[in-house]
């Protein structure tokens, strides 16, 4: 493997600007790495032609030589298969869309391209992003480079595997209940779910009532995530829910010191999560870094209502409405677990909708009170080790039953509440697999979350420790 692929995104962009690495050299290395690894990982599931990619890289090299380099000039980009990239398949992991080719870019993909990134192909995702294990009937199973028998998580599993294995320096990801943070935790990468609306979605193809899903960065380092946000954040006429432009650079904000004496609330379980012993111990030890840095870590009392079952019901209801025209005639083309999950959405009633709404009000109230007393919240990211590559997720941990959607015990609440939340690597489990810690910030304060994550990264760096030689 070419050593340039172990560099972070920010390191690579600097190397490219200074002409120490050429875009053509980088592109060739990425394509060779995909050829080398994809038989094991199945991270990339559709690719543009090599000659076209090298031609794009040569054009980027010419811009650099003219002194016209954009922020991501010549950076290869993998796009999650739940998102549109013009000219590439957009199957959403489902056989019913196996022949669909995108005729446009999603807004954030277009913005990354405008910043100089070169779309190279699509990364794998579970059917309609429905599970925390990345497999589907179109492209098969994606595996973790830390252990090929384990999943990299979902739904951004292909992107996470590609990032952790140093296959591609920039990937897209999305998170409706943990789909950035869970695979980031399972692969030891850095993942940020921004505040709802920070990164525009769309163009909208079908109106839905999903207000939990966000696009966000999945990267090697905190700085890389800030660079990504700088290119994509800001309003779009295609998404009525996007926030105003932040008015500053996230990367520049990382040059500022983390405010002193932060009040940090720590919860090992949010009052309901069933957490693996070595995961709990690693996160509890890691949060002590903030004490060492002069901040005040205190127990976070109680917890929000656990809405895993109802979050799943909402998602199933929305998705059932979206694909109802294919049911039941094409059920045989969909995964059995997926169909079973979707059919739970048919049980939605006005009464249940009201109950879920009341629970969400309670969740919001709990978050509001928590942020009255704390500047940041810290929890584990995922309660346990990555499950087998083909699933299923476990229904118990160390003899204790897991709640429904237990894999997302710590992530779902902050999708429902719209708070920014990041995960970063804090160690490895007894099986040698990455463990993640989640940092949650006030709404619209991504820069504070990033600053806290960077402070931790400087004390406990994980980059460049990546699983690049699993197949030796």
The per-residue pLDDT for 206 is 73
Cα gap 82→64, rounded to integer Å: 32
- Predicted TM-score (pTM) of the model is 0.97
Cα gap 413→267, rounded to integer Å: 13
370-382 b/e with 16+ CB inside 10 Å = b?
Answer: bbeebbbbbbbbb
3-state secondary structure of 101: strand
Short-list 110, 38, 125, CA closest to 77: 110
Report pLDDT digits (tens) over 52-73.
999 999 999 999 999 999 999 9
- Supply the Cα-derived Rg of the chain in whole angstroms: 21
The per-residue pLDDT for 88 is 98
The domains of the chain are located at: 3-459
Please say whether the beta carbons of 422 and 438 come within 8 A: yes
Non-local CB neighbours of 458 within 8 Å, separated by 6+ positions: none
Q: How does DSSP classify residue 50? A: H
The per-residue pLDDT for 313 is 92
Catalytic residue numbers?
80, 155, 179
Cα gap 166→37, rounded to integer Å: 10
Taking only the tens of pLDDT, the chain with its 472 residues reads 899 999 999 999 999 999 999 999 999 999 999 999 999 999 999 999 999 999 999 999 999 999 999 999 999 999 999 999 999 999 999 999 999 999 999 999 999 999 999 999 999 999 999 999 999 999 999 999 999 999 999 999 999 999 999 999 999 999 999 999 999 999 999 999 999 999 999 898 777 667 999 999 999 999 999 999 999 999 999 999 999 999 999 999 999 999 999 999 999 999 999 999 999 999 999 999 999 999 999 999 999 999 999 999 999 999 988 898 898 889 999 998 899 888 898 889 999 999 999 999 999 999 999 999 999 999 999 999 999 999 999 999 999 999 999 999 999 999 999 999 999 999 999 999 999 999 999 999 999 999 999 999 999 999 999 998 875 4
Q: Does domain 3-459 have CATH number 3.90.1300.10?
A: yes
The per-residue pLDDT for 341 is 87
The per-residue pLDDT for 471 is 53
Short-list 210, 214, 423, 450, CA closest to 312: 210
The per-residue pLDDT for 210 is 74
The per-residue pLDDT for 360 is 96
Please say whether the beta carbons of 409 and 403 come within 8 A: yes
């Amino acid at each position: 493997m070419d050593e340039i692929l172990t560099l972070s995104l920010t390191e690579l962009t600097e190397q490219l600007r200074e002409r120490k690495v050429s875009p053509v050299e980088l592109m060739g290395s990425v394509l060779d790495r995909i050829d080398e690894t994809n038989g094991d990982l199945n991270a990339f599931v559709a690719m543009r032609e090599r000659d076209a990619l090298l031609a794009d890289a040569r054009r980027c090299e010419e811009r650099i030589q003219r002194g016209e380099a954009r922020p991501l000039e010549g950076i290869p980009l993998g796009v999650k298969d739940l998102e549109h990239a013009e000219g590439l398949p957009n199957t959403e992991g489902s056989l019913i869309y196996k022949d669909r080719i995108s005729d446009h870019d999603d807004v954030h993909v277009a913005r990354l391209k405008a910043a100089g990134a070169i779309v190279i192909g699509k990364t794998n995702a579970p059917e309609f992003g429905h599970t925390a294990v990345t497999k589907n009937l179109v492209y098969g199973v994606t595996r973790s480079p830390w252990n090929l028998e384990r999943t990299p998580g979902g739904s951004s599993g292909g992107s996470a595997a590609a990032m952790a294995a140093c296959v591609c320096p920039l990937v897209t990801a999305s998170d409706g209940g943990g789909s950035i943070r869970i695979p980031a935790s399972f692969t030891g990468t850095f993942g940020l779910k921004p505040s709802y609306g920070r990164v525009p979605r769309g163009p909208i193809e079908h109106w839905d009532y999903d207000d939990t899903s966000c696009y966000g960065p999945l990267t090697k380092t905190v700085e890389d995530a800030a660079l990504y946000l700088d290119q994509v954040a800001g309003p779009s006429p295609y998404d009525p829910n996007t926030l105003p432009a932040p008015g500053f650079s996230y990367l520049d904000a990382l040059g500022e010191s983390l405010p002193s004496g932060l009040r940090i609330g720590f919860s090992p379980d949010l009052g309901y999560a069933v957490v693996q012993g070595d995961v709990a111990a690693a996160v509890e030890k890691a949060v002590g870094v903030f004490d060492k840095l002069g901040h005040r870590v205190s127990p976070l009392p109680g917890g929000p209502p656990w809405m895993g079952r109802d979050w799943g019901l909402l998602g199933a209801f929305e998705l059932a409405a979206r694909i109802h025209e294919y049911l039941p005639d094409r059920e045989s083309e969909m995964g059995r677990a997926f169909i079973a999950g979707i059919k739970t959405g048919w049980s939605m009633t006005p009464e249940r909708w009201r109950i879920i709404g009341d629970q969400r009000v309670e969740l919001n109230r709990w978050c509001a009170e928590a942020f009255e007393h704390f500047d940041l919240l810290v929890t584990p990211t995922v309660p346990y080790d990555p499950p087998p590559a083909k699933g299923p997720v476990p229904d118990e941990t160390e003899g204790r039953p897991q709640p429904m959607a237990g894999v997302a015990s710590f992530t779902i609440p902050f999708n429902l509440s719209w708070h920014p939340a990041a995960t970063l690597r804090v160690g490895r489990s007894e099986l040698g697999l990455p463990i993640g810690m989640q940092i949650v910030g006030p709404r619209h304060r991504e820069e504070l979350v990033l600053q806290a994550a960077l402070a931790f990264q400087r004390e406990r760096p994980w980059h460049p420790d990546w699983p690049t030689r699993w197949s030796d």
